Chains A and B, each alone.
Chain A
Amino acid sequence: MAGRLRTIGLRITHAIPVILGVVVVSFLLTRALPGDPAVYFAGHAADEASIEEVRTALGLDKPLPEQFLVYAGNVLTGDLGQSLSTGQPVIEDLAHRLPASLELTLTALLLSCTIAIPLGVLAATRPGSAVDHLCRVLVTAGVSLPTFFTGVLLIYIFYYLLGIAPSPLGRLDFIYIEPDRITGFYLIDAAIAGDWETWTGALKQLVLPAITLTLFTLAPLARMTRAAMLSALSSDYIRTARAAGLTEDKVLFTYAFRNALLPVVTTLGMVFSFTLGANVLVEKVFAWPGIGSYAVEALVVSDYAAVQGFVLAMALLFVVLNLVIDLSYTLIDPRIGFETR
């Protein structure tokens, strides 16, 4: 147990240089603005005095290394600057909108895993069958689908043609009252409040955007599950297990699946990266009030502090997710130690 704790501690320290790199890149991005960054951060309506004020606040009158220290200090204290369009500190805006994005992303990933992993396992255990072909078609079509196009298509079919989906405008129809904010996840908040009418309303709004994201993430997961299962099933220990007379279920799930899970979890990390990007597009299509649509709105009005805050927040979120994935390796495969890497 102590060894495992040490492993986990070591992995966490590995994340530190990456976080540092992320902060450096996002600092360089803000300073790469053509012309005077202070003018951009102060906004279109700013006069000389407020530009000067922004310049001192951002430390733009100091040399670059010192500017970086000021920036890093600000990031450390959670100060990402003021958003021009909302007038709020960027960090508060992001914190307020993050649950919406997470609710969407996590629902989609959960849905994706529950479909893709069984599909991949079935395809691997029955090569050449109908399931295998279905898997192949889904995989090839899935990676070619632009998320924003799938979203628009789903809206046309389920909202306009069939009329079973609610209008694609945000997280909750205006006839429902927003549940009291506890976690920020509408489904959880409504369930805590016991307000099942609102819960159903929120779920209805969530279905289409979540399916859009799911279709996008299904392909790499199913493909990797199938490949990993195939290679696990053809290995020596499976032959030995079969020769020893273990039941097929025992061979499949205890031996093959557990070994196949490792590459699948690795793929999950990559899928997260794509999902966080695709989230921005899906949020725009469905007018979902998450941090993605916040960034898009900020881009339109050249609200730089908000955009940079968003990029940094997304990168940090991704680093944390990767950390969680790496740590879950140790649960799946006790042989893994990070010292050797």
Chain B
Amino acid sequence: MSDITTSQVPVKQDGTLAHIGYVLRSNPVTLLAFTMFAILLLAAVLGPVIVPYDPMESNAAIALQPPSMAHWFGTDNLGRDVFSRVILATRLDLAISVAAVALSFLIGSVLGSVAGYWGGWLDTVLNRLFDTIMAFPLFVLAMGIVAALGNTVENIVYATAVINIPFYARLVRAEVNIRRDAGFAQAAKLAGNSDIRVLALHIFPNALPPMMVQVSLNLGWAILNAAGLSFIGLGVRPPTAEWGIMVAEGANFIVSGEWWLAFFPGFALMFAVFTFNLLGDGLRDMVDPRQRS
């Protein structure tokens, strides 16, 4: 008995790995996405160690210098090194979006599972709630929430989480709903598992693959959203290094030709969003090859 299980598990893992390897080889774009993701992670983790200058240190003598060997991305109006600030901002921007997406993943999973499994009035009420959230232009709702809760970084996270919850909840609800009376779920119940146990351990895991794709696509959008909010002056405050604020500050100098102030943080933002979008498409290829476009 134990022989069979030990011999079966490696074969199965090998299959999955081989499949992932196959997808990566046949689709170099996905490989590129993983490489870009690794660069982002490195910048976020090692940021403070690898930057050449203190991101807060201003030096009026070298203000507004174009990119050079000493300052790769130039210096801003206070003489701060743009390269150091762009690299350091990676951690904050990723942290905000990861926290927001994790929150909406958690809350969305719970609400969606409950609505999909038990249905009834709870389902109706939750659906109405999600409809109402979706009835707002989402960025505008996020603005309203941050304005109401107060202008802090945590509230940016909450606002971004709230506007993303419906996407997760609906996805989970659909996945749970079609499996609620499936054979394996009824077997698990007959074997004496409680409803919550069946829901959490037997049915919900089936929703994870499409959820992962959603997470990856959503992360890019969450970064855009958070950067957009700080661009209009919500959440992160100067002099904190954050991509949205840096573009906003740099925008004042673009009409006089100092392009590097806004360009590099904007490019970093684009790079991050692009990475997550590519990653999401790549993950979808692995999870559900039929949806490949």
A residues adjacent to B (C-beta < 8 A): 17-18, 21-22, 24-26, 29-30, 32-34, 140-141, 143-149, 152-153, 155-156, 159-160, 167-168, 227, 272-274, 276-278, 280-281, 284-285, 295-296, 299-300, 304, 307-308, 310-311, 314-315, 318-319, 322
Contact = CB atoms under 8 A, between A and B. Distances in A.
B147 to A, nearest CB: 5
28 contacts: A17-B128, A21-B128, A21-B131, A25-B136, A25-B141, A30-B148, A141-B274, A144-B270, A145-B270, A148-B231, A148-B244, A155-B254, A156-B254, A156-B263, A272-B137, A273-B137, A276-B137, A276-B140, A277-B137, A277-B139, A280-B139, A280-B140, A296-B233, A308-B147, A310-B140, A315-B135, A318-B135, A319-B135
B150 A34 contact: yes
Nearest to A150: B266
Interface of B: 128-129, 131-141, 143-145, 147-150, 220, 224, 227-228, 231-234, 244, 247-248, 250-251, 254-257, 259, 262-263, 266-267, 269-270, 273-274, 277-278, 293
A33 B148 contact: yes
B61 to A, nearest CB: 25
Given A159-B255, A277-B139, 7 more contacts: A18-B135, A21-B128, A32-B149, A156-B257, A273-B136, A277-B140, A280-B139
A304 B145 CA distance: 11
Identify whether the interface residues of A are mostly helix, strand, loop, or mixed. helix
B269 to A, nearest CB: 5
Given A24-B132, A30-B148, A308-B144, A273 B269 contact: no
Contacts of A26: 144
Contact of A296 (B135, B232, B256, B257): B232
A307 B266 contact: no
A30 B228 CA distance: 22
Contacts, number: 151
A21 B270 contact: no
A27 to B, nearest CB: 11
A42 to B, nearest CB: 16
A140 B220 CA distance: 12
Nearest to A33: B148
Nearest to A276: B137
The residue in A24, A144, A307, A315 that gathers the most chain B C-beta atoms within 10 A of its C-beta is A144
A143 to B, nearest CB: 6
A149 B270 contact: yes
Nearest to B250: A152
B232 A284 contact: yes
B223 to A, nearest CB: 9
A100 B224 CA distance: 25
B139 A144 contact: no
Contact of A146 (B134, B143, B259, B273): B273
The residue in B128, B134, B232, B257 that gathers the most chain A C-beta atoms within 10 A of its C-beta is B232
Contacts of B269: 146, 149
B216 to A, nearest CB: 13
Contacts of B255: 155, 159-160, 167-168
B143 A280 contact: yes
Rank and list the top 10 A-B pairs by shortest CB-CB distance, nearest first: A277-B139, A21-B132, A149-B266, A311-B144, A276-B137, A144-B274, A144-B273, A29-B148, A314-B140, A315-B136
Contacts of A148: 228, 231, 244, 247-248, 251
A212 to B, nearest CB: 13
